[in-house]
Structure 1
Amino acid sequence: MTIDVARARAETPGTAHVAHFNNAGSSLPPSPVLDAVHGHLDLEARIGGYEAEAEAAPRLARTRAAVAEMLNCGTDEVALVENATVGWDMAFHSLSFGPGDRILTSVSEYASNYIAFLQVARRTGVVVEAVPNDADGQLDPEALERMIDGRVRLIAVTHVPTNGGLVNPAREIGRVARAHGIVYLLDACQSAGQMPLDVEEIGCDLLSATGRKYLRGPRGTGFLYVRRTLLDRLEPPFVDLHAATWVAPDRYELRPDARRFENWESNVAGLVGLGVAVDYALSWGLDAIRDRVVLLAEHLRGRLESVPGVVVRDLGRERCGIVGFTADGRPADAVKAALAARGINVSISTAGSTRLDMEARGLDELVRASVHYYNTEEEIERLVSALR
């Protein structure tokens, strides 16, 4: 399959107003997603929120089924949550740790995840260790293998870091985790929607992601995959009458499926829109999306390297749609503001978001330009010309 760029842009109203290179932050939603969200909100206004949710039950069921189809898992292994951080935290904090236990993670791990590691370390005495990178800057699976011992309780890795195009070797990490029977948590926040994600091929036990980024869904939506065979070992840190049933005055029972990680109140319009966004991505084909995104990103990297003073900072053997760069003598926020004045959206990554990686490379900040399949070569030229 190939991407019909003209059609993709015609179905993306925002492309008429801005050159959007902030897809790793929040993509421009397509018309079907907008229509789904607006339609449900209109329904709530007409008949009431509870009544609209009941009427939307088939669409909500499709959202869960669409996520399961995208991940190659069962619908009972999918929890629909408010955002990727909630999904990740619900999974992580359902695990038990004790003094001397070890958590292995990546040098490029995202701040929210690492802060949670440090919080649990302070409470329990668990040891947090970053697996060294290989010569290409990605997590080294051989180094991971050498670090395994009987005290490792979790391998938790960000698939695509927030600050650049690196793609960590998720499948190779999964093979190590499975060989040693260690729980493997994958943060797919930046990869969901821009590349295929098959949890059986990857070998992860837990996977969290958001709707707003490359999936082009609404903000305030996300999902969590929980491997069926792991469910009985996990009790979420927070449960309510949706996640559990109050069966006696002194007893409750957790749901038998991944919905034990959900709670009763949710953004129904957003979740309806999330399902439409996943189906929309599946209709294009995630292989085709990946190919188009990688092609555009490599073209952007090549063009940026032609601009005096601009240095592309991306690492990795495999790279994706996120392009991180610095401009000599120009603070990142000044570059962002100057581009915004020309109708071009980019973002900024600071050391606080990926501290281990940024400090190791002597970087305080960088500009992040992230492409999607609806971007064009002409928009890339606009970006490069503005930087010049």
Structure 2
Amino acid sequence: MKLNRRSFLQGLGLGAISALAARASLPALPPFGTLSDDAFWRAVRAQYPLSDDPVYLNTGGLGPASQRVLDAVDATMRQLQEHSETGHNLLEPARETMARFLGAAADEVCFVRNATEGNSIIAAGLGLRAGDEVIFESHAHPGGSFPWLNQARLHGVVVRLFEPDPASPEANLARIRALVTPRTKVIQVSHITCTTGLVFPVAAIAEFARARGIWFHIDAAQSVGMIPVNLREIGCDSCAFSGHKWLGGPHETGVLYLRHDRLDAVALTGAGAYSGELARLPGEIKDFNAASRHEYGTRNAGLIVGLAEAVSLQEQIGRARIAAHGGALAAGLIQELSRIKGIEVLTPRSESLRASITTIRHARADAGKLFGYLLGKHRLRCRPVTEQDLGAVRISTHVFTSRAEVERTISAVRAAAHDL
């Protein structure tokens, strides 16, 4: 039974309770400019059923979904269950929405469960052999490092790490260049590091890699939804990110972008219905000519519809506006926290090298102690940063974060510097 989203929902006669009408249950988000700046962001905050206690400052770990997203997921899943349909064709409108958001073509978008799964498809699918080399930064999240470390364990792939430079994009490119050898097959970076919020010069790295025939993959878990991202302009070969962080999509959603002219370079590491065609057995699978060949079997269409709704909300708010709001709050944090004796700000000071993440370290207290103090005494939910023994705490500022919450955070860190 072939369905498209509109005809499916209309055909069921569900009218106003459909996923397309879910947003009607909320107060309308006013156009930017019709309210004061603070009033606009309060209206944005009203879109989220997020508790005020504790103050949530961990979007870099997990982003809350808006009510619009929750309603879209609920309505779609109910409709599909009531009519016992997979809703597989509902993925295509969602794919087109995501492609436009990323500056990509729909056939370059594959829906996955998270960034880790997308990274793993690339790591396993490129067919690297013993002695082939992969370069990535030492601050990579386990979801970005483990897929390559697993290839090292299984096939003898050589992993080469560089330490990020917090002060210079040119220095980071130079550190990558210094590790390149004739055996280098892949360069991967986090678009924005999960540790300190450093922004890598991904377009320059893409140009460097392309000139040398090296595959360039981006782990964009910390950038998509935080800042505008146009993958065609960046020029990478592949990119993976989670939908459940800065985008505010449902849990267990994500995207793998695979540039169309590089599609056949990544072998299928799993296959089944929807990844290709086969007339009859025995025979040879004819892979679909799209990144979606890496999707197989029945998927939870309700979650993907919810992810598309999250994208729609971000577009309504405005991607540049989102980046400016979160970045301004982070800038205020950095300015004030850097003045507190006993507190070290690890996030780059340069605006071109940071966005909406602020990472701090206490001179006397480890990450767990500082995290526990901020949560237990001041009701601030941050995230301890233990990667590379940094012993720090990360603060994420996003669309639902207010200036008052930032001021509260500054006061709490000032108290931590005194008390711990």
TM-score after normalising by structure 2: 0.82
Q: Does residue 1:96 correspond to 2:127, yes or no?
A: yes
Alignment of 1:127-138 (within 5 A): 127-131=158-162, 133-134=164-165, 136=167
Tell me if 1:223 matches 2:259: no
Kindly state the Cα deviation for residue 382 of structure 1 after the two structures are TM-superposed.
Answer: 1.5
User: Corresponding residue for 1:379?
Assistant: 405
Residue in structure 2 matched with residue 245 of structure 1 by the alignment: 277
Q: How far off its partner does 1:119 sit?
A: 2.2
> Shift of the alpha carbon at 1:253?
2.1
Residue of structure 2 in register with 1:298 after alignment? 331
Any stretches of 5+ residues in structure 2 without a counterpart? 1-31, 416-420
Counterpart mapping for 1:31-70 below 5 A: 31-48=67-84, 50=85, 53=87, 57-58=89-90, 60-70=91-101
Task: Tell me how far 1:125 sits from its aligned partner.
Answer: 2.9
The answer to whether the 8 Å contact 1:137/1:315 transfers is: no
Q: Shift of the alpha carbon at 1:25? A: 1.1
Once residues 379 and 402 of structure 2 are traced to their aligned partners in structure 1, the CA distance between those partners, rounded to angstroms, is: 15
1:323 and 2:355 aligned: no
Pair 143,345 (structure 1): closer, same or farther in 2 beyond 3 Å:
closer
Matched, 1:9 2:41: no
Q: CA deviation at 1:295?
A: 0.7
Give matches, 1:275-314, under 5 Å. 275-314=308-347
For the aligned residues, what is the CA RMSD?
Answer: 2.2
1:346 is aligned to 2:382: yes
Instruction: After superposition, give the CA deviation of every residue in 1:188-245 in whole Å (9 maximum; x if it has no partner).
Output: 0111101111112211010000111100111110011000001122212111222133
Deviations 1:255-298 (A, max 9, x none): 21101111223222211110000111122221111111111111
1-side partners of 2:310 and 2:118: how far apart?
18
> What does the per-residue CA deviation read over 1:287-334, in whole Å, with 9 as the maximum and x for residues that have no partner?
111111111111112222344422212247411111111223333233
Q: Establish whether residue 125 from structure 1 lines up as the match of residue 156 from structure 2.
A: yes
Give, in whole Å, the separation in 1 of the partners of 2:178 and 2:196: 27
Question: Displacement, 1:366?
Answer: 1.4
Matches within 5 A, 1:82-231: 82-131=113-162, 133-134=164-165, 136=167, 140-231=172-263
Q: Which deviates further from its counterpart, 216-225 or 17-26? A: 17-26
CA contact (8 A) 1:20 1:28 kept: no
**After the TM superposition, which of the residue ranges 203-212 and 127-136 deviates more from structure 2?**
127-136
Distance 1:311 1:144, change over 3 A: closer
Q: Percentage identity across aligned positions?
A: 28
Letter in structure 2 aligned against 1:378: A
Partner AA of 2:272 in structure 1: D
Give 1:29's aligned amino acid. A
Q: Give the whole-Å Cα distance in 1 for the aligned partners of 2:401 and 2:143.
A: 29
Q: Which amino acid in the other structure matches residue 117 of structure 1? A: W
Q: Which has the higher contact order (CA 8 A, sep 6+)?
A: 1
Q: Distance in 1 between matches of 2:109 and 2:365?
A: 44
- 1:190–1:98 Cα change, 3 Å: same
Aligned length: 373
Matched letter for residue 368 of structure 1: R
**How big is each residue's C-alpha offset from its partner over 1:141-198, in whole Å with a ceiling of 9 and x where there is no partner?**
1343344443221111111111112111111101101212221110001111011111
- Residue 84 of structure 1 contacts residue 224 of structure 1 at CA under 8 Å; is this kept in 2? yes
- Structure 2: how far apart are the matches of 1:88 and 1:82? 11
Displacement of 1:113: 2.6
Stretch deviating more after TM superposition (125-134 or 166-175): 125-134
CA gap of 1:18–1:197, structure 2 versus 1, over 3 A, is same
Deviations 1:347-382 (A, max 9, x none): 11213xxx3xx4xxxx3x211111102211100111
Partner of 1:14, secondary structure, is coil
Residue 316 to residue 252, structure 1, CA distance change in 2 (3 Å): farther
Q: Equivalent residue for 1:273?
A: 306
Secondary structure, counterpart of 1:93 in structure 2: helix
**What secondary structure does 1:311 align onto?**
strand
Q: Could you tell me how far apart the structure 2 residues matched to 1:229 and 1:24 are? A: 32
CA distance in structure 2 between the aligned counterparts of 1:379 and 1:113, rounded to whole angstroms: 31
Report if the CA contact (8 A) 1:152-1:182 is conserved. yes
| Contact 2:49 2:67 (C-alpha < 8 Å) held by counterparts | yes
Unmatched 5+ residue regions in structure 1? none
C-alpha separation between the residues in 2 aligned to 1:137 and 1:349?
A: 22
8 Å CA contact retained: 1:82, 1:266? no
Shift of 1:250: 4.2
